Amino acid sequence: MRFLRFLLLWISSNLSIPFWMVGHFHLMTSVYADIHEVVASLGMNILVGIGFWINWKEYEKEQKHKDGRRIDH
């Protein structure tokens, strides 16, 4: 389970820009006629989004412990 969490965060951190850059270029030059392309694109964006959210929660927790108070936004 810890490895899967690490893998998700690693993918989110290291591959988010390539996913989005290639994806946006692909959207501009292609028509999504194949359901496999749509599912793959959606899946990659979901992975990146989940990793981003987990990373945000960890950052928020670190800041809370660092400052000794709760951060509300």
Count CB atoms within 10 A of the CB of residue 48: 19
pLDDT (0 to 100) of residue 72 = 57
The amino acid occupying position 9 is: L
The amino acid occupying position 37 is: E
For 11-67, the pLDDT digits (tens) are: 888 877 777 777 666 666 666 667 777 787 788 888 888 888 898 898 888 888 877
Residue that is written with structure tokens 């000794």 in the block:
68
Considering only the C-alpha atoms of the chain, give the largest distance between any 2 of them, rounded to a whole number of Å.
52
CA-to-CA separations, 59 to 34, 54, 70, in angstroms, rounded: 38, 9, 12
